[in-house]
Amino acid sequence: MKQPRRSTGRTALPYLLLLPALAVELLIHLVPMVTGIVMSFKQLTQFYIRDWSTAPWSGLANYRMAVDFHAPVGQALLNSFWVTCTFTLLSVGLSWLIGTTAAIMTQDTFRGRGLLRAAFLLPYALPVFAAVITWSFMFQRDTGLVNHVLHDQLHLVKDKPFWLIGDNSFWALLTVSVWKSWPFAFLTLTAGLQNIPRELYEAAAIDGAGIRQQIRRITLPSLRPVNQVLLLVLFLWTFNDFNTPFVLFGKAAPKAADLISIHIYQSSFVTWNFGAGSAMSVLLLLFLLLVTSVYLFATTRRRGADD
Amino acid sequence: MINPPASFRWLRRAVLLLLLVFTLTPVAVMLSSSLKPLQDVQGPWRWVPSHLTLRPYVDIWSTVPLARYFTNSLIVAGSATALSVLIAILAGYAVSRYRFRGRRLFTVTVLSTQMFPGILFLLPLFLIFVNIGNSTGVALYGSRGGLILTYLTFSLPFSIWMLVGYFDSIPRDLDEAAAVDGCGPVRTLLRIVVPAAIPGIVAVAVYAFMTAWGEVLFASVMTNDETRTLAVGLQGYATQTDVYWNQVMAASLVVSIPVVAGFLLLQRYLVAGLTAGAVK
């Protein structure tokens, strides 16, 4: 698109090269997606798992059940949705803030910067399950590090609180999520900062701009295109996160930390009602599509207006 | 930044130190607890083991079949990575070097699958795998093959995207020179483009391996006792009554070493790849 491409008479070749990618994408993503949409209109309970095509059609019954907010199923879904929204906003916001701060503060060279960067990237490099299982050990009520520090060493709390059940589980989940996500923001923003020419800062310094102005007038505006992609990616990852709550809490997440992915998983595999689970997944997909399009529309237009 | 004042330098030290503590605490917990005898992790938390022991590192292999999980994870993540990189190179080359109908549709579709929640595919894929098994006898559900197939698509969109960016940055003059010398498109790809794109390819491979190694959701549904990977197997150290936390920590450390070592060795390429592909 940027350069003129070699147009070719051998039209079959590019398609041949794409064939393997197309085949696996079709098999693993597109066909299941269509299947999922079909499933959401079926009464797909455990009796039909072996041959799902024989399951009777149920029209919109699954959807009606999912959004009936007066009944237990709908109420639980709504609760899970709000928990996920709050959790995502806080986690993405904090991860972005910490990532930006750290990236700006490691922009200048100093002794040990390479080591520090490597250490900051560790949470991103560690396998999710190993890292989160460590956090679940730290959050244990009687044997964990968190309560030891808060209660025994700092005397901040009177009784040792539970972290992995009850309302506190939300904060435990948020802590782990931020710990795990901010290094990615840091990595991306560090890469973005390398594209800012040093002359810009030099020119600004000559004009008498202090550190605060350099950051506000040069660094942050230059990072805007990176941030556009970064915030969207962080949002989608965090909103869909399954691994963190699943390893932290096990199959049943506490109500205060019942993220949408784990909620759907549980509703599907505990009751084996795949029809209802699919309907919830489709609703989730529609919501994500809506948010993504609005976001892309708004940010792209604003960028256009600024340029 | 130019001439940061002393106050900024002090603030910087404080903030970076705080972040370092936040980042490294779990790693310290892992390391110290993996060297503790069992009674140390059953009482209140202590930073230093009452006496150092390597027992947890011995016991982890017999409490659960860790070696089997390890082998499964290596096979699954290794194969998924190799296939994903190969497929991404072919597709990336096509998108970067050719104009064809549906080119834009392809890139948009592939990239948008990245945003879909895994849970959306899980249920249908589970059913499709079970039904394929019933009708053709090809066991995808519960097998490593099914997991490999699934994992390779997780890293594929990002890999293709990154490689297109990388291939675009390789001058087309090189291709044309090769064509003049009589190289066909495939030879050109192998001889000219792939060698020039090695950093990008390494970055993509690291990413694909990390993605497959750490995945939990599909591993928890699509595997059985024989094919279980580490992501699920590590939960086996918890019994009905007790959790062998010192062994859990030792096992976590052992299973992290391959990815962390690979990542730290190759992070330079990953950052370069991100800079070329994503940030451009």
**Contact call for residues A200 and A208 (beta carbons, < 8 A):** no
Domain count, chain A: 1
Query: Mean pLDDT over all residues of chain B?
Result: 87
Residue A252 structural domain: 71-306
| Two tokens, residue A271 | 């009751």
A265 lies in some domain: yes
Given pLDDT bands bounded at 50, 70 and 90, which one contains residue A95? Answer: very high
Could you report the per-residue pLDDT of A212-248, keeping only the tens digit for each? 888 888 888 888 888 988 999 899 999 999 999 999 9
Report the pLDDT value the prediction gives residue A2, as an integer from 0 to 100.
44
Could you report the per-residue pLDDT of B155-186, keeping only the tens digit for each? 998 899 888 888 888 888 888 888 888 888 88
DSSP code of residue A94: H
A18 lies in some domain: no
Q: Which of A31, A4, A14 is nearest to B91 (CA)?
A: A14
A103 lies in some domain: yes
Higher pLDDT, B9 or A176: A176
A90 lies in some domain: yes
A204 lies in some domain: yes
**Range scoring the smallest mean pLDDT among A191-205, A274-288, A292-306, B167-181:** A292-306
* 3-class secondary structure, B224: coil
Q: Tell me how close the Cα of A94 comes to any Cα of chain B, in angstroms.
A: 13
Query: Rounded distance, CA A36 to CA A131, Å?
Result: 32
In CATH, what class is B59-277? mainly alpha
Report the pLDDT value the prediction gives residue A4, as an integer from 0 to 100.
47
pLDDT above 50: residue A1: no
CA neighbours within 13 Å on the CB side: how many for A201? 20
Average pLDDT, integer, range A278-285: 92
A52 lies in some domain: no
Report the pLDDT value the prediction gives residue A302, as an integer from 0 to 100.
62
pLDDT above 60: residue A3: no
Query: Rounded distance, CA A69 to CA B127, Å?
Result: 29
Could you report the per-residue pLDDT of B36-52, keeping only the tens digit for each? 999 899 888 988 999 89
Number of H helices and E strands in chain B, helices first, is 14, 0
Disruptive mutation site among B18, B76, B114, B127 for chain A (greatest number of A CBs within 10 Å): B127
pLDDT above 50: residue B279: no
Query: Rounded distance, CA A98 to CA A114, Å?
Result: 18
Q: Which domain CATH number covers A118?
A: 1.10.3720.10
A48 lies in some domain: no
Could you report the per-residue pLDDT of A196-222, keeping only the tens digit for each? 888 888 888 888 888 888 888 888 888
A66 lies in some domain: no
Q: Tell me how close the Cα of A110 comes to any Cα of chain B, in angstroms.
A: 11
Given pLDDT bands bounded at 50, 70 and 90, which one contains residue A182? Answer: very high
Could you report the per-residue pLDDT of B64-91, keeping only the tens digit for each? 899 999 999 999 999 999 999 999 999 9
pLDDT above 50: residue A33: yes
End-to-end CA distance of chain A: 21
Report the pLDDT value the prediction gives residue A20, as an integer from 0 to 100.
94
- Residues of chain B with Cβ-Cβ distance to A8 below 8 Å are 98-99
* Portion 53-92 of A in contact with B at CB < 8 A: none
Query: Mean pLDDT over all residues of chain A?
Result: 87
Nearest to A130 among B8, B131, B234 (CB): B234
- Residues of chain A with Cβ-Cβ distance to B123 below 8 Å are 36, 39, 268, 274, 277-278, 281
Higher pLDDT, A4 or A283: A283
Report the pLDDT value the prediction gives residue B278, as an integer from 0 to 100.
47
Could you report the per-residue pLDDT of A123-170, keeping only the tens digit for each? 999 999 999 999 999 999 988 999 999 988 888 888 889 999 889 999
Please identify which residue in the block is written with the tokens 């409490």. B63
The residues, any chain, with a CB within 8 Å of residue B66's CB and separated by 6 or more, are: B60, B230, B233, B251, B254
Report the pLDDT value the prediction gives residue B156, as an integer from 0 to 100.
92
Q: Nearest residue of B to residue A130 by CA position?
A: B252
CB contact under 8 A, A137 and B29: yes
pLDDT above 70: residue B277: no
pLDDT above 50: residue A8: no
Domain definitions of chain B by residue range: 59-277
Given pLDDT bands bounded at 50, 70 and 90, which one contains residue B192? Answer: confident
Could you report the per-residue pLDDT of A64-75, keeping only the tens digit for each? 888 888 888 889
**B238 phi, psi to nearest 5 deg:** -95, 120
Report the pLDDT value the prediction gives residue B133, as an integer from 0 to 100.
84
Nearest to A129 among B97, B152, B231 (CB): B231
